[in-house]
Structure 1
C-alpha cells in the first residue's frame, strides 16, 4: 500500500491476514463509538455486506460497549427478502448482532411495499431516525469502483451522489447487477465522523490505485467521492 498515491490526509493500515486487519478495524471502530457514547445519547454504525466484513463483525461484536445505545444500519441492501441468501440484513444479524452486540438497535433500510420505489418514502423515514452526521461508516469497494450501491452504471447515480440532495435513501437499478438495490446516498455516507474503507485482495489495490489517479471523476468510479482527508483504508492480501 505504500506505493499508492492516495490524496493527502488518507491513512492506511495493511496487515498480512484478513483476521489481523479485522481486529485492528474492530478496535478502531469500538474506540470511536465509545468516545461518541461518552458525548452523546446514542451512536450510529453503518456497515457493509459481503464476505470481507465477516471477520470484522466477529471481532467487533464482543467489544465492551453500551450496545443498547448503538444504532446499526447497512450502507446498502439488495431488494430481496431476508430469507434470500443474498440478503445483507440476514448476514448482519447472523454475524454482527450476536453476543454483546445483540443489544444494538438495527435500523432496516428494507420497508414494506410491493416494490422499492413504492417503499422509498418509508425507507427514507427509517433512515431519518439516524442522527446526522453518522458516526462510523465502514465501506467496501467493488472492482468497478462502486461503494455501497453507488454503481457507476446505475441510471440513478447522479441523484444519489447529489451533495445538495435531501433524500437519505436511493433506489438503484444498475444493469450489471442481478437485483435492484437500495442505498444510503453519498451525502449521508460521506459526511460521517469516521469513515473506513475495508478491502481484501490485490485486485482491490489495483482498483484503489485507479481511483486515486483521478479522484474528481466520481461518475466513473463512485468510490472516489470518499477519497478525502479523514478516510482510513484497511487492507489485507
Structure 2
C-alpha cells in the first residue's frame, strides 16, 4: 500500500512513462533555475532509464545551468560498457542537454576506497541538496548501491551519518561501487522512483510491508514525498 507521502503513477508502456517523467523532471529543473539560477540532478544507471534520458535530452530549458551527476556508479571507467557515466553521456548529455555540466563519481584509482577522497572533493563542489533525484530499483530491492549484504549498507542507510558518498561492495553488485548516502538522496527537493516490469511491482509491494528488510524500504519509510513511476 502506497503511503500518503507517495504518489504511484502507472503507465501502459515505457514510452508513456518516459514522456511523463521527463516533463515532470524538466519542470523541476526549470523551477530551480528560475529560483536560484542553476539546477542539480542525480540520475540512476542501469538499462531502465535509457528511454527517459533520451526524452529528457530534448526538453527545452537552459541546460547550461544544469549540473548532472549519478546516484551511484560501478567502479569502472567510462570506456567500460557497464559504466553508468558512459550511458549518461551517450543517452542524456545529447541534443539540448549537451550543454549540461556532468560530474562523474569514478576517478582513476584502483578501488573506490583509494579514490574516495578525490570523489568527495568533486561532490563537495556540488551545491547540495539536489533539486532532483531519480532512483531505480533492482529485482533484489536495491536502490542506489544499497545492496542486500553490502559491506557498508548500514552506514549508507543511517540518516544520522553525515558522509555524502561511500564505497560499497556486495555479492550482488558485481563490481565495487561508489554511492551517495541515503541521507543525501532524501534531502532532494524532488524525489522519483522509476521502475518497470511486473517483477519490480512485486518487489515494491514486498518492500512496502511492515518490517521489510529490502534496502528500498528505507526510502519508502522515510516519510518524505516520493513520486513512483511504473509501467509493465
Fold conserved between structures, TM > 0.5: yes
Give the secondary-structure state (helix, strand or coil) at the position aligned to 1:131.
coil
State the alpha-carbon separation in 2 of the partners of residues 63 and 213 from structure 1. 37
Give the secondary-structure state (helix, strand or coil) at the position aligned to 1:176.
helix
After superposition, residues 92-107 of structure 1 pair within 5 angstroms as 92-107=88-103
State the alpha-carbon separation in 1 of the partners of residues 48 and 174 from structure 2. 20
2:124 aligns with: 128
Match among 133, 141, 145 for residue 149 of structure 1: 145
State the aligned residue count. 230
Q: Which digits, 9 at most, give the CA deviation of each residue in 1:36-65, with x for residues without a partner? A: 110013111111111110111011111111
| 2:109 is the alignment partner of 1:113 | yes
C-alpha contact (below 8 Å) 1:161/1:185 kept by paired residues:
yes
Match among 193, 197, 200 for residue 201 of structure 1: 197
1:234 aligns with: 229
State the alpha-carbon separation in 1 of the partners of residues 130 and 49 from structure 2. 19
After superposition, residues 154-169 of structure 1 pair within 5 angstroms as 154-169=150-165
Q: Which digits, 9 at most, give the CA deviation of each residue in 1:127-162, with x for residues without a partner? A: 112212211000100121110111121021011112
| 2:30 is the alignment partner of 1:34 | yes
Residue 91 (structure 1) shift: 0.4
State the alpha-carbon separation in 2 of the partners of residues 166 and 128 from structure 1. 12
C-alpha contact (below 8 Å) 1:124/1:167 kept by paired residues:
no
- Structure 1 segments of 4+ aligned residues over 6 angstroms from their partners: none
Q: Structure 1: give runs of 5+ residues left out of the alignment.
A: none
State the alpha-carbon separation in 2 of the partners of residues 178 and 139 from structure 1. 19
TM-align CA RMSD:
1.1
State the alpha-carbon separation in 1 of the partners of residues 109 and 24 from structure 2. 37
State the alpha-carbon separation in 2 of the partners of residues 201 and 151 from structure 1. 20
TM-score scaled by structure 1? 0.94
C-alpha contact (below 8 Å) 2:93/2:100 kept by paired residues:
yes
C-alpha contact (below 8 Å) 1:7/1:229 kept by paired residues:
no
Q: Structure 2: give runs of 5+ residues left out of the alignment.
A: none
Match among 198, 220, 225 for residue 218 of structure 2: 225
2:20 aligns with: 24
Residue 118 (structure 1) shift: 1.2
